[in-house]
Structure 1
Amino acid sequence: MKFEFRVATKSDVEEFLTWRYEDIYSFYDNSIDKNKIEWILSFIDSDNNFSIYNEDNELVGNCSFYYIEEFLCIGVQMRPDITGKGFGTEFVKSVVDFGKQKYNYNCIDLTVAKFNKRAIKVYKKLGFKVIEEFVNTIRGADYDFIAMRLVIDTDELVEIRNV
Protein backbone atom coordinates (compact mmCIF):
# COMPACT_ATOMS: atom_id res chain seq x y z
CA MET A 1 0.00 0.00 0.00
CA LYS A 2 1.28 3.47 -0.85
CA PHE A 3 0.61 6.49 1.32
CA GLU A 4 0.59 10.19 0.53
CA PHE A 5 1.30 12.77 3.22
CA ARG A 6 -0.54 16.07 2.92
CA VAL A 7 -0.86 19.20 5.00
CA ALA A 8 -3.95 18.65 7.15
CA THR A 9 -6.95 20.64 5.97
CA LYS A 10 -9.96 21.78 7.95
CA SER A 11 -11.99 18.99 6.32
CA ASP A 12 -9.41 16.37 7.37
CA VAL A 13 -9.40 17.65 10.95
CA GLU A 14 -13.19 17.62 11.10
CA GLU A 15 -13.06 13.96 10.12
CA PHE A 16 -10.34 13.19 12.69
CA LEU A 17 -12.63 14.61 15.38
CA THR A 18 -15.31 12.02 14.50
CA TRP A 19 -13.01 9.02 14.92
CA ARG A 20 -14.18 6.64 17.67
CA TYR A 21 -12.26 3.53 18.65
CA GLU A 22 -13.68 0.34 20.18
CA ASP A 23 -13.24 -1.05 23.68
CA ILE A 24 -10.07 -0.03 25.53
CA TYR A 25 -8.90 1.86 22.44
CA SER A 26 -11.61 4.49 23.05
CA PHE A 27 -8.85 6.08 25.12
CA TYR A 28 -7.61 7.44 21.75
CA ASP A 29 -10.91 9.07 20.66
CA ASN A 30 -10.17 12.55 19.34
CA SER A 31 -13.22 14.29 20.78
CA ILE A 32 -12.80 12.94 24.28
CA ASP A 33 -11.64 16.15 25.96
CA LYS A 34 -10.97 19.83 25.35
CA ASN A 35 -7.16 19.53 25.27
CA LYS A 36 -7.19 16.79 22.65
CA ILE A 37 -9.73 18.67 20.52
CA GLU A 38 -7.56 21.81 20.64
CA TRP A 39 -4.49 19.77 19.71
CA ILE A 40 -6.29 18.15 16.74
CA LEU A 41 -7.58 21.58 15.59
CA SER A 42 -3.97 22.82 15.60
CA PHE A 43 -3.23 20.39 12.75
CA ILE A 44 -4.92 22.66 10.18
CA ASP A 45 -2.28 24.02 7.78
CA SER A 46 0.52 23.05 10.19
CA ASP A 47 4.03 22.37 8.95
CA ASN A 48 4.46 19.39 11.29
CA ASN A 49 1.08 17.62 11.27
CA PHE A 50 0.00 15.60 8.26
CA SER A 51 -3.01 13.81 6.88
CA ILE A 52 -2.27 10.43 5.37
CA TYR A 53 -4.13 9.21 2.28
CA ASN A 54 -3.97 5.82 0.57
CA GLU A 55 -3.66 5.21 -3.17
CA ASP A 56 -7.47 5.38 -3.49
CA ASN A 57 -7.40 8.96 -2.12
CA GLU A 58 -9.02 7.85 1.15
CA LEU A 59 -8.04 9.54 4.41
CA VAL A 60 -6.54 6.71 6.47
CA GLY A 61 -4.62 8.45 9.24
CA ASN A 62 -2.53 11.29 10.50
CA CYS A 63 0.85 11.90 12.02
CA SER A 64 2.60 14.62 13.98
CA PHE A 65 6.24 15.52 14.43
CA TYR A 66 7.13 17.55 17.52
CA TYR A 67 9.90 18.09 20.03
CA ILE A 68 9.98 17.19 23.70
CA GLU A 69 13.05 18.97 24.93
CA GLU A 70 15.68 18.19 22.27
CA PHE A 71 14.09 14.91 21.17
CA LEU A 72 12.07 14.67 17.96
CA CYS A 73 8.89 12.64 18.53
CA ILE A 74 6.10 11.25 16.39
CA GLY A 75 2.43 10.74 16.98
CA VAL A 76 0.59 8.33 14.71
CA GLN A 77 -3.10 7.61 14.32
CA MET A 78 -4.91 5.25 11.97
CA ARG A 79 -8.58 5.53 11.06
CA PRO A 80 -10.50 3.31 13.52
CA ASP A 81 -12.03 0.93 10.98
CA ILE A 82 -8.62 -0.14 9.65
CA THR A 83 -6.86 -0.71 12.97
CA GLY A 84 -6.11 -4.29 13.98
CA LYS A 85 -6.23 -5.53 10.37
CA GLY A 86 -2.53 -6.00 9.67
CA PHE A 87 -1.73 -2.61 8.11
CA GLY A 88 0.06 -1.15 11.14
CA THR A 89 3.65 -2.04 10.27
CA GLU A 90 3.39 -0.73 6.72
CA PHE A 91 1.56 2.38 7.91
CA VAL A 92 4.02 3.28 10.68
CA LYS A 93 7.00 2.45 8.45
CA SER A 94 5.69 4.96 5.92
CA VAL A 95 5.48 7.62 8.67
CA VAL A 96 9.05 6.87 9.81
CA ASP A 97 10.32 7.00 6.22
CA PHE A 98 8.44 10.22 5.46
CA GLY A 99 9.79 11.80 8.63
CA LYS A 100 13.33 10.69 7.82
CA GLN A 101 13.11 12.39 4.43
CA LYS A 102 11.50 15.57 5.78
CA TYR A 103 13.41 16.01 9.05
CA ASN A 104 16.62 14.07 8.34
CA TYR A 105 16.74 12.57 11.84
CA ASN A 106 18.87 9.72 13.17
CA CYS A 107 16.54 8.86 16.01
CA ILE A 108 12.88 9.40 16.77
CA ASP A 109 10.83 8.87 19.93
CA LEU A 110 7.20 8.03 20.62
CA THR A 111 5.01 7.23 23.58
CA VAL A 112 2.30 4.62 23.69
CA ALA A 113 -0.17 3.51 26.33
CA LYS A 114 1.14 0.29 27.83
CA PHE A 115 -2.18 -1.51 27.23
CA ASN A 116 -1.85 -0.96 23.47
CA LYS A 117 -0.15 -4.27 22.74
CA ARG A 118 -0.96 -4.10 19.01
CA ALA A 119 0.91 -0.82 18.55
CA ILE A 120 3.82 -1.89 20.74
CA LYS A 121 4.24 -5.04 18.62
CA VAL A 122 4.36 -2.90 15.46
CA TYR A 123 6.86 -0.45 16.95
CA LYS A 124 9.14 -3.26 18.12
CA LYS A 125 8.98 -4.92 14.70
CA LEU A 126 10.16 -1.64 13.19
CA GLY A 127 13.11 -1.50 15.59
CA PHE A 128 11.83 0.82 18.32
CA LYS A 129 13.24 -0.01 21.77
CA VAL A 130 11.70 0.77 25.15
CA ILE A 131 13.62 3.60 26.82
CA GLU A 132 11.31 4.44 29.73
CA GLU A 133 8.08 3.51 31.46
CA PHE A 134 6.04 6.11 33.30
CA VAL A 135 2.60 6.96 34.63
CA ASN A 136 0.65 9.92 33.30
CA THR A 137 -2.64 11.26 34.65
CA ILE A 138 -5.13 11.83 31.85
CA ARG A 139 -8.73 12.92 32.41
CA GLY A 140 -8.31 12.23 36.12
CA ALA A 141 -7.05 8.64 35.79
CA ASP A 142 -3.53 7.23 35.92
CA TYR A 143 -2.30 5.37 32.83
CA ASP A 144 0.93 3.45 32.29
CA PHE A 145 2.92 4.56 29.25
CA ILE A 146 6.01 3.37 27.44
CA ALA A 147 8.49 5.71 25.73
CA MET A 148 10.23 4.11 22.76
CA ARG A 149 13.09 5.21 20.52
CA LEU A 150 14.15 4.21 17.02
CA VAL A 151 17.82 4.82 16.25
CA ILE A 152 18.73 4.82 12.58
CA ASP A 153 22.39 3.93 12.16
CA THR A 154 22.74 4.84 8.49
CA ASP A 155 21.44 7.40 6.06
CA GLU A 156 19.27 4.71 4.52
CA LEU A 157 15.56 4.60 5.29
CA VAL A 158 14.34 2.02 7.75
CA GLU A 159 14.36 -1.47 6.28
CA ILE A 160 11.83 -3.90 7.62
CA ARG A 161 12.16 -7.66 7.45
CA ASN A 162 9.13 -9.84 6.74
CA VAL A 163 6.79 -7.04 5.63
Structure 2
Amino acid sequence: MNIEFKKPTENDAKKIATWKYDGIYSFYDNDKTEAKQQWVLNIHNEENTFVMYNENNELIGNCSFSYDDEEKEYMLGVQMRPDLTGKGMGTEVVKAILNFGRETYKFNELVLLVAKFNKRAIKIYERLGFKTIEEFMLHVNGEDKEFLAMKIAW
Protein backbone atom coordinates (compact mmCIF):
# COMPACT_ATOMS: atom_id res chain seq x y z
CA MET A 1 0.00 0.00 0.00
CA ASN A 2 1.27 3.43 -0.93
CA ILE A 3 0.23 6.12 1.56
CA GLU A 4 0.40 9.81 0.81
CA PHE A 5 0.42 12.27 3.71
CA LYS A 6 -1.26 15.62 3.09
CA LYS A 7 -2.38 18.64 5.04
CA PRO A 8 -6.11 18.21 5.75
CA THR A 9 -8.63 20.29 3.85
CA GLU A 10 -11.94 21.51 5.20
CA ASN A 11 -13.59 18.78 3.10
CA ASP A 12 -11.37 16.14 4.75
CA ALA A 13 -12.41 17.47 8.16
CA LYS A 14 -16.10 17.22 7.25
CA LYS A 15 -15.65 13.59 6.14
CA ILE A 16 -13.68 12.61 9.24
CA ALA A 17 -16.29 14.25 11.48
CA THR A 18 -18.84 11.64 10.33
CA TRP A 19 -16.74 8.63 11.28
CA LYS A 20 -18.48 6.19 13.64
CA TYR A 21 -17.04 2.94 14.98
CA ASP A 22 -18.71 -0.35 15.94
CA GLY A 23 -19.16 -1.81 19.40
CA ILE A 24 -16.71 -0.80 22.12
CA TYR A 25 -14.80 1.22 19.53
CA SER A 26 -17.71 3.72 19.43
CA PHE A 27 -15.69 5.39 22.19
CA TYR A 28 -13.69 6.88 19.29
CA ASP A 29 -16.71 8.30 17.40
CA ASN A 30 -15.92 11.79 16.20
CA ASP A 31 -19.27 13.13 17.36
CA LYS A 32 -18.92 11.62 20.84
CA THR A 33 -18.66 15.07 22.46
CA GLU A 34 -19.05 18.63 21.25
CA ALA A 35 -15.35 19.26 21.97
CA LYS A 36 -14.23 16.32 19.83
CA GLN A 37 -16.61 17.30 17.03
CA GLN A 38 -15.20 20.84 17.03
CA TRP A 39 -11.61 19.58 17.05
CA VAL A 40 -12.26 17.27 14.10
CA LEU A 41 -14.09 19.94 12.12
CA ASN A 42 -11.06 22.19 12.55
CA ILE A 43 -8.19 19.77 11.90
CA HIS A 44 -7.43 21.59 8.67
CA ASN A 45 -6.23 24.45 10.91
CA GLU A 46 -3.94 22.21 12.99
CA GLU A 47 -0.26 22.67 12.18
CA ASN A 48 1.01 19.13 12.79
CA THR A 49 -2.01 17.11 11.64
CA PHE A 50 -2.06 15.13 8.41
CA VAL A 51 -4.54 13.05 6.45
CA MET A 52 -3.56 9.83 4.74
CA TYR A 53 -4.66 8.83 1.26
CA ASN A 54 -4.10 5.46 -0.39
CA GLU A 55 -3.01 4.81 -3.98
CA ASN A 56 -6.67 5.11 -5.11
CA ASN A 57 -6.81 8.64 -3.67
CA GLU A 58 -9.17 7.49 -0.88
CA LEU A 59 -9.00 9.07 2.58
CA ILE A 60 -7.94 6.26 4.94
CA GLY A 61 -7.08 8.07 8.16
CA ASN A 62 -5.35 10.89 9.92
CA CYS A 63 -2.47 11.39 12.29
CA SER A 64 -0.95 14.15 14.35
CA PHE A 65 2.42 14.82 15.92
CA SER A 66 2.53 17.15 18.90
CA TYR A 67 5.55 18.19 20.90
CA ASP A 68 5.20 18.16 24.67
CA ASP A 69 7.52 20.91 25.93
CA GLU A 70 7.28 19.72 29.52
CA GLU A 71 8.21 16.10 28.75
CA LYS A 72 10.48 17.04 25.80
CA GLU A 73 8.92 14.38 23.60
CA TYR A 74 6.73 13.95 20.54
CA MET A 75 3.26 12.47 20.93
CA LEU A 76 1.43 10.60 18.17
CA GLY A 77 -2.30 10.56 17.50
CA VAL A 78 -3.73 8.10 14.95
CA GLN A 79 -7.20 7.46 13.54
CA MET A 80 -8.21 5.10 10.74
CA ARG A 81 -11.42 5.24 8.75
CA PRO A 82 -13.87 2.96 10.59
CA ASP A 83 -14.55 0.54 7.74
CA LEU A 84 -10.81 -0.14 7.44
CA THR A 85 -10.22 -1.11 11.07
CA GLY A 86 -9.75 -4.78 11.90
CA LYS A 87 -8.77 -5.62 8.30
CA GLY A 88 -5.10 -6.41 8.92
CA MET A 89 -3.67 -3.22 7.48
CA GLY A 90 -2.92 -1.40 10.73
CA THR A 91 0.72 -2.46 11.02
CA GLU A 92 1.50 -1.21 7.52
CA VAL A 93 -0.31 2.08 8.13
CA VAL A 94 1.34 2.76 11.49
CA LYS A 95 4.76 1.84 10.06
CA ALA A 96 4.20 4.41 7.29
CA ILE A 97 3.17 7.00 9.90
CA LEU A 98 6.33 6.32 11.92
CA ASN A 99 8.54 6.66 8.83
CA PHE A 100 6.80 9.88 7.76
CA GLY A 101 7.04 11.31 11.28
CA ARG A 102 10.73 10.51 11.64
CA GLU A 103 11.50 12.07 8.25
CA THR A 104 9.45 15.18 8.99
CA TYR A 105 10.26 15.80 12.67
CA LYS A 106 13.61 14.00 13.12
CA PHE A 107 12.60 12.50 16.48
CA ASN A 108 14.40 9.53 18.07
CA GLU A 109 11.49 8.48 20.26
CA LEU A 110 7.74 8.79 20.18
CA VAL A 111 4.95 8.36 22.73
CA LEU A 112 1.27 7.58 22.17
CA LEU A 113 -1.76 7.01 24.35
CA VAL A 114 -4.15 4.16 23.66
CA ALA A 115 -7.29 3.00 25.47
CA LYS A 116 -6.46 -0.22 27.31
CA PHE A 117 -9.48 -2.02 25.80
CA ASN A 118 -8.13 -1.43 22.27
CA LYS A 119 -6.26 -4.74 22.05
CA ARG A 120 -6.02 -4.55 18.23
CA ALA A 121 -4.11 -1.27 18.32
CA ILE A 122 -1.94 -2.34 21.26
CA LYS A 123 -0.92 -5.50 19.38
CA ILE A 124 0.12 -3.39 16.35
CA TYR A 125 2.10 -0.95 18.48
CA GLU A 126 3.88 -3.78 20.32
CA ARG A 127 4.67 -5.51 17.00
CA LEU A 128 6.36 -2.30 15.84
CA GLY A 129 8.44 -1.94 19.02
CA PHE A 130 6.36 0.23 21.35
CA LYS A 131 6.63 -0.60 25.05
CA THR A 132 4.11 0.29 27.77
CA ILE A 133 5.58 2.93 30.07
CA GLU A 134 2.51 3.84 32.14
CA GLU A 135 -1.09 2.86 32.88
CA PHE A 136 -3.60 5.45 34.09
CA MET A 137 -7.22 6.60 34.07
CA LEU A 138 -8.19 9.44 31.75
CA HIS A 139 -11.48 11.28 31.28
CA VAL A 140 -11.95 11.39 27.49
CA ASN A 141 -15.04 11.78 25.32
CA GLY A 142 -17.23 12.06 28.40
CA GLU A 143 -16.01 8.76 29.91
CA ASP A 144 -13.38 7.55 32.37
CA LYS A 145 -11.21 4.95 30.64
CA GLU A 146 -8.01 3.09 31.40
CA PHE A 147 -5.19 4.13 29.09
CA LEU A 148 -1.68 3.02 28.34
CA ALA A 149 1.18 5.33 27.47
CA MET A 150 3.46 3.52 25.02
CA LYS A 151 6.89 4.59 23.78
CA ILE A 152 9.20 3.63 20.95
CA ALA A 153 12.84 4.66 20.54
CA TRP A 154 15.26 4.20 17.66
Equivalent residue for 1:92? 94
Shift of 1:147: 0.2
Shift of 1:142: 1.7
Identity across matched positions, percent: 51
Kindly report which structure 2 residues correspond to 1:1-163, keeping only aligned pairs within 5 A, or say none.
1-68=1-68, 69=70, 70-152=72-154
How many angstroms apart in 2 are the aligned matches of 1:127 and 1:114? 17
Q: Which amino acid aligns with 2:65?
A: F
Partner-residue secondary structure (3-state), 1:44: helix
Q: 1:17–1:31: 8 Å Cα contact kept in structure 2?
A: yes
Q: Which amino acid aligns with 1:35?
A: A
TM-score normalised by length of structure 2:
0.95
Once the two structures are superposed, what CA deviation does each residue of 1:13-47 show, in whole Å capped at 9, x if it has no partner? 00000000000000001111111122223311433
Partner-residue secondary structure (3-state), 2:67: strand
Partner-residue secondary structure (3-state), 1:115: coil
RMSD: 1.1
Q: 1:74–1:109: 8 Å Cα contact kept in structure 2?
A: yes
How many angstroms apart in 2 are the aligned matches of 1:144 and 1:48? 26
How many angstroms apart in 2 are the aligned matches of 1:87 and 1:57? 17
How many angstroms apart in 2 are the aligned matches of 1:54 and 1:79? 12
How many angstroms apart in 2 are the aligned matches of 1:9 and 1:139? 24
Matched residues, number: 152
Structure 1 unaligned runs (5+)?
A: 153-163
How many angstroms apart in 2 are the aligned matches of 1:41 and 1:128? 30
Q: 1:52–1:61: 8 Å Cα contact kept in structure 2?
A: yes
Partner-residue secondary structure (3-state), 2:21: coil
The verdict on how the C-alpha distance between 1:66 and 1:3 changes in structure 2, with shifts beyond 3 A counting, is: same
